[in-house]
Amino acid sequence: MELANLWVAQHGVPDGLRVAVKSDAGAVLRLMQTAVYTHLHADWHLPGDWIGSPSFVVVPKPDTPGGSQSLTAVLFQKHGEMLACLAATPDPLPAAWVRVAAIDQADRAEALLAQMLARVVPALQKQGVTQLAWLTVDQWPNLWLPALGFYRGSQIETFVKEDHTLPEVADVPGLTIRQVYSTDFEPLAALEAASFAPIWRQSAHALAVARPQSLCFDVALLDGEIVAYQLSAPSDSGAHLVRLTVHPEKHGLGIGSVMLKHAIEFYHRKGLYAVSLNTQVENIASHKLYLKFGFRPSQQRLPIWILDIPQ
């Protein structure tokens, strides 16, 4: 973060930069709708859900050119509009994602981003975060993140399937599939921890938030023990497979194939035949599974940027 701190030394700290409070929710939403640059992480949360975190900062706009509040704002305790905001939160530790970003001033955007990061990263460090990740859906952060200490970690590629065909899949003895229960979230979080590096893990809380928004959410049990799950969401064109996770000790048994076929058959019963999913470009094992089911890479790739945070 030395580079971001250097930006602060060169450009100063914008007036009013502070941690967001609940009463900022409306102004943050309006900023997200109108800002020159915006980013919203692909998860199940709304921007306001992260307000209250010490690593969600805002830069209010001055109410007048001189920076003083108008009489109306003082009398009615009106919270002014926002110039910029940045939220980066862990869920779960020890990794965090940039969840929300918006900047409404093009000529100061790079400096404002650096100034907000310089405030956010120490707050993350105090929480025990060791890596901050940013999935850049839009191009604008890519220009500035290397100068702020981020490096390219991986890429996410979209796979799509539009045909109705499914391969033959062998049964797995002792395997049963059912819908997720509210008591499953902690075991599923443990499954995530066993299966993925920190930045890719889902917390029990995130899975609980996802459940009511999902298209289908199933777990697989082998001899009564949860060994896999799939989580799917509706998409504009059909269905999107958000997550398919199999415990690493159970790889090679065909559980992933059974779960994927079960999910796609559910989509078809709903009349949904266009299916998409995202996977890391280096995850060759998952590519083989998806290709077997008729998915094809779309060549649409999005970069993941990483900032290491020493403890």
Per-residue pLDDT of the chain (311 residues), as tens digits, is: 565 665 555 556 777 999 999 999 999 999 999 999 999 999 999 999 999 999 999 999 986 343 444 444 444 444 579 999 999 999 999 999 999 999 999 999 999 999 999 999 999 999 999 999 999 999 999 999 999 999 999 999 999 999 999 999 999 999 999 999 999 999 999 999 999 999 999 999 999 999 999 999 999 999 999 999 999 999 999 999 999 999 999 999 999 999 999 999 999 999 999 999 999 999 998 999 999 999 999 988 999 999 999 99
19 within domain boundaries? yes
218 within domain boundaries? yes
Residue type, 272: L
DSSP state of 27: H
E-strand ranges in the chain read 18-19, 37-40, 56-60, 82-90, 95-103, 131-135, 151-161, 175-179, 216-222, 225-234, 239-246, 275-280, 296-308
184 within domain boundaries? yes
| Claim to verify: residue 145 and residue 33 sit in the same structural domain | yes
Q: Which residues contact 163 (CB under 8 A, 6 or more apart)?
A: 273, 294
Phi and psi torsions of 221, nearest 5°? -115, 135
Angle formed by the axes of helices 109-127 and 2-11, to 10°? 130
223 within domain boundaries? yes
Q: What is the CATH number of the domain that holds 185?
A: 3.40.630.30
Distance CA 251, CA 204 (A): 23
23 within domain boundaries? yes
Long-range contact list for 167-170, CB < 8 A, 24+ apart? 167/257, 167/261, 167/292, 167/293, 167/294, 169/254, 169/257, 169/258, 169/261, 170/254, 170/257
Token pair 């707050």 in the structure block, residue: 123
DSSP state of 13: -
Distance CA 58, CA 244 (A): 36
| Per-residue confidence (pLDDT) for residue 114, from 0 to 100 | 97
In sequence order, what DSSP letters do the residues of 74-97 get, joined into one string? HHHT----EEEEEEEEESSTTEEE
Distance CA 260, CA 251 (A): 14
| Per-residue confidence (pLDDT) for residue 64, from 0 to 100 | 38
| Claim to verify: residue 130 and residue 164 sit in the same structural domain | no
Does the global pTM surpass 0.85? yes
* Segments forming the whole domain that contains residue 116: 2-149
Q: How far is CA 252 from CA 25, 76, 257, 285, in A?
A: 47, 64, 10, 10
Distance CA 105, CA 113 (A): 11
Phi and psi torsions of 78, nearest 5°? -75, 130
| Element at 205 (helix H, strand E) | helix 204-210
Closest CA to 186 of 170, 171, 166, 207: 207
| Claim to verify: residue 289 and residue 220 sit in the same structural domain | yes
Phi and psi torsions of 243, nearest 5°? -150, 135
| Per-residue confidence (pLDDT) for residue 46, from 0 to 100 | 94
198 within domain boundaries? yes
Residue 67, Ramachandran bin (φ over 0: left; ψ between -120 and 50: alpha; else beta):
left
| Claim to verify: residue 46 and residue 108 sit in the same structural domain | yes
Distance CA 118, CA 285 (A): 38
Q: Which residues contact 175 (CB under 8 A, 6 or more apart)?
A: 220, 221, 222, 227, 255, 258
Number of domains in the chain: 2
At 12, is the secondary structure helix, strand, or coil?
A: coil
| Domain final position from 149, 168, 200 | 149
| Per-residue confidence (pLDDT) for residue 14, from 0 to 100 | 74
